[in-house]
Amino acid sequence: MVRGPAGAWAALGPLLWGCALALALPGGMLYPRESPSRERKSLDGLWSFRADFSDNRRRGFEEQWYRRPLRESGPTLDMPVPSSFNDIGQDWRLRHFVGWVWYEREVTLPERWTQDLRTRVVLRIGSAHSYAIVWVNGVDTLEHEGGYLPFEADISSLVQVGPLPVHLRITIAINNTLTPSTLPPGAIRYMTDTSKYPKGYFVQNTDFDFFNYAGLQRAVLLYTTPTSYIDDITVTTGVQQDSGLVNYQVSVKCGSQFKLEVRLLNAENKVVAEGTGTQGQLKVPGASLWWPYLMHERPAYLYSLEVRLTAPTSVGPVSDVYTLPVGIRTVAVTESQFLINGKPFYFHGVNKHEDADIRGKGFDWPLLVKDFNLLLWLGANAFRTSHYPYAEEVLQMCDRYGIVVIDECPAVGLVLPQHFSNTSMNHHMRVMEELVRRDKNHPAVVMWSVANEPASYLESAGYYFKMVITHTKALDPSRPVTFVTNANYAADKGAPYVDVICVNSYYSWYHDYGHLELIQLQLGTQFENWYKTYHKPIIQSEYGAETIVGFHQDPPLMFSEEYQRALLEQYHLGLDQKRGKYVVGELVWNFADFMTNQSPQRMLGNKKGIFTRQRQPKTAAFLLRERYWKIANETRYPRSAAKSQCLENSPFT
Ligand code: GCB
């Protein structure tokens, strides 16, 4: 998070923008929860919106659109938040827009927020893809680089200004331009051949396979804390004989006089352990552990850590209360196993995207709950947040349902030597800091993935990944770290630094098209090569086939539902040869069809979903369901047949 001279900075170039310096993170990023001392006010709903279509995309800065209501600058649109802006309108120019868009919303604050000087008011933006500048009543308040993580600012001094009711005008300018040092990287290419392109014509080139949706795609809200407050909590957990251990560290913002009390409550709301002070260890005899879905008859057990701060201030004592869900579990990796609570865990799940009709990457509760119903129905126990951090509410659902997460940062498309520069590396480390800060307390998160399919065979990638992975381990020594590779095992310069090898392959799809009979051989060779070189557990982190729902061909032909099914079956036979040896997981590509850039290889997006974009099952979904439930029943503790835990009654159960 950086505050800076937006005007000067915006003058750098038509679309390009400076890279924020890697500064130490200034504080915590606790999820804004209500409590006896904290309130929330959602700013979701309709915002005014204007894309800056001027040639240099800088008219908004030149005319200072943030100084007065946006509607006074020219025509505005109604824009729902959260949502990507791209698919909302009928104007094709907006769908492909690259440059600055402007959002604005007015809000009236409750008096108790503005009159009580013991109250602190915070503006929090769940994400803004990809660079954002925020003004409150025309005052430059906050800037943030990076599209998939939250940022916030204390705006108390702007709202506590006198006895009158306080109206706020929040203006957010967002730029979706990607540069070689952003994550993901991209580049603006100006087309200079005037026989083919009009003057000044440019396109944004990217090397990743999903549509670069942008806008305010997650919740925007205001929340309060007392002026002396709990700023951050870090929890790690362990198990000692039959006791659970909860190590906590709390950082507070207040004077030197304060009292900090910590209580751990079980699911029945009974206090099971207590402590005082900013750090300590709570011991829970006979603890119920947090187990993944289908791994145990009582999965996803959550305790609540209630932290209470009491502090004197010049205007009287204040107390702040924050309650954090805590799952007690351990994660460990051996040469050939991934252990959760000391037992071998096999990832049988999916890769996802935040993607749906109309809303693009906009957060949506109905979609999220539907997706979880489908995951539970499928018997999936894990997913990877391919290829960027997902909304915090997604991870909260994973904690509650026992869906294990490989949490990936937005480093996708690092394919050129310039993507491994020091500037990129510093930014990458900062994104990992923001990611770990946000997600460190989720029991569901069992591993960090620092990248997807980088050009890890490049010489510079070796040093780069050594640094990024070492940094991530220093930020969080409690979880393994990986990146997802599609490089040749012998050439991969980053693999020596990972804890688990995550490998993508598309046999009989991108290679030897149509030759399903080669999959088992090629997959077996792939696994053996990686294992003999590194002696680390392996996850098949992607495999799949493009499939148009309703296309049928038997014998199977590419793009038909039968081909997807047959390809998956061949992969499963290959996986079963090594499952229980050193292959510790399989994540199909992809959970659902999703939107991509237009190209002759993509027909209205990527169709490798086992569900359609509208979440209807293809034939392969039934195959996977049978397989995942079978594996679950073979690997369950204690041994007894698992039952679906669907959130609602599904006709498929
Ligand atoms: C991959 C990428 C993923 C693509 C997928 C595909 O290896 O990691 O982003 O969408 O292949 O379908 O080509």
Preceding peptide of 590 cis, ω within 30°: yes
Q: What's the token pair of residue 348?
A: 């049988």
**What residues contact 517, with CB distance under 8 A and at least 6 apart?**
570
pLDDT digits (tens, 9 = 90+) for 311-341: 987 778 889 999 999 999 999 999 999 999 9
Tell whether ligand 1 has an atom less than 6 A from the beta carbon of residue 453. Answer: yes
The pLDDT value recorded for residue 641 is: 64
The pLDDT value recorded for residue 313 is: 79
Residues with a known catalytic role: 453
Which atom of ligand 1 is nearest the CA belonging to 504? 7
| Cα 437 to ligand 1 centre (Å) | 28
Q: How far apart are CA 358 and CA 354, in angstroms?
A: 12
Domain assignments of the chain as residue spans, ordered by start: 39-176+212-225, 227-326, 347-636
Q: How far apart are CA 474 and CA 597, in angstroms?
A: 37
| Cα 234 to ligand 1 centre (Å) | 34
| Cα 537 to ligand 1 centre (Å) | 22
How far does CA 53 lie from the centroid of its chain? Answer: 30
Which numeric CATH code is attached to 39-176+212-225? 2.60.120.260
The answer to whether 295 and 637 have CB atoms below 8 angstroms apart is yes
Counting other chains too, the contacts that 529-536 makes at CB distance below 8 Å and 24 or more residues apart are 529/489, 529/490, 530/489, 530/495, 530/501, 530/503, 531/582, 533/489, 533/490, 533/495, 534/489, 534/495, 534/496, 534/501, 535/335, 535/336, 536/333, 536/335, 536/498, 536/499, 536/500, 536/501, 536/582
Protein residue closest via CA to atom 7 of ligand 1: 504
Q: How far apart are CA 318 and CA 311, in angstroms?
A: 6
| Cα 428 to ligand 1 centre (Å) | 21
Q: Which of 383, 542, 588 best tests ligand 1's pocket when mutated (most atoms within 8 Å of CB)?
A: 542
pTM: 0.95
Cβ atoms within 10 A of the Cβ of 324, count?
A: 20
Q: Which of 354, 406, 606 best tests ligand 1's pocket when mutated (most atoms within 8 Å of CB)?
A: 606
Which atom of ligand 1 is nearest the CA belonging to 608? 12
Tell whether ligand 1 has an atom less than 6 A from the beta carbon of residue 119. Answer: no
The pLDDT value recorded for residue 653 is: 36
pLDDT averaged per 10 residues, the chain (length 653): 34 37 68 98 98 96 98 97 97 95 97 92 97 97 96 95 85 97 96 96 96 98 97 98 97 95 98 98 98 96 98 86 98 98 98 98 98 98 98 98 98 98 97 98 98 98 98 98 98 98 98 97 98 98 98 98 98 98 98 98 97 98 98 83 53 37
Q: How far apart are CA 523 and CA 469, in angstroms?
A: 27
Which numeric CATH code is attached to 227-326? 2.60.40.10
Place of tokens 């995207």: 353
Tell whether ligand 1 has an atom less than 6 A from the beta carbon of residue 589. Answer: yes
Tell whether ligand 1 has an atom less than 6 A from the beta carbon of residue 606. Answer: yes
Q: How far apart are CA 172 and CA 73, in angstroms?
A: 14
Order the strands of the 343-344 sheet from edge to edge: 331-333, 338-340, 343-344
Protein residue closest via CA to atom 9 of ligand 1: 209
Q: How many residues does the chain have?
A: 653
Place of tokens 């490798």: 608
Tell whether ligand 1 has an atom less than 6 A from the beta carbon of residue 452. Answer: yes
DSSP code per residue over 348-367: EEEE--S-BTTTBT---HHH
Protein residue closest via CA to atom 6 of ligand 1: 209
**What residues contact 232, with CB distance under 8 A and at least 6 apart?**
27, 28, 29, 30, 250, 251, 437
Q: How far apart are CA 89 and CA 250, in angstroms?
A: 45
The pLDDT value recorded for residue 4 is: 33
| Cα 544 to ligand 1 centre (Å) | 9
Q: How far apart are CA 340 and CA 4, in angstroms?
A: 44
Q: How far apart are CA 601 and CA 183, in angstroms?
A: 24
The pLDDT value recorded for residue 595 is: 98
Tell me the sheet residues that pair with 310.
259, 319
Rg over CA atoms, the chain = 25
The pLDDT value recorded for residue 111 is: 92
pLDDT digits (tens, 9 = 90+) for 520-571: 999 999 999 999 999 999 999 999 999 999 999 999 999 999 999 999 999 9
| Cα 261 to ligand 1 centre (Å) | 48
Protein residue closest via CA to atom 10 of ligand 1: 209
DSSP code per residue over 279-338: EEEEEEETPPP---TTTBSS----EEEEEEEEE--TT--EEEEEEEEE----EEE-SS-E
List alpha helices for 476-618, DSSP H: 519-534, 561-578
Which numeric CATH code is attached to 347-636? 3.20.20.80
The answer to whether 412 and 184 have CB atoms below 8 angstroms apart is yes
| Cα 209 to ligand 1 centre (Å) | 6
Which amino acid is present at 153?
A
Tell whether ligand 1 has an atom less than 6 A from the beta carbon of residue 209. Answer: yes
Q: Which of 350, 484, 589 best tests ligand 1's pocket when mutated (most atoms within 8 Å of CB)?
A: 589
Count Cα atoms within 13 angstroms, Cβ side, for 130: 23
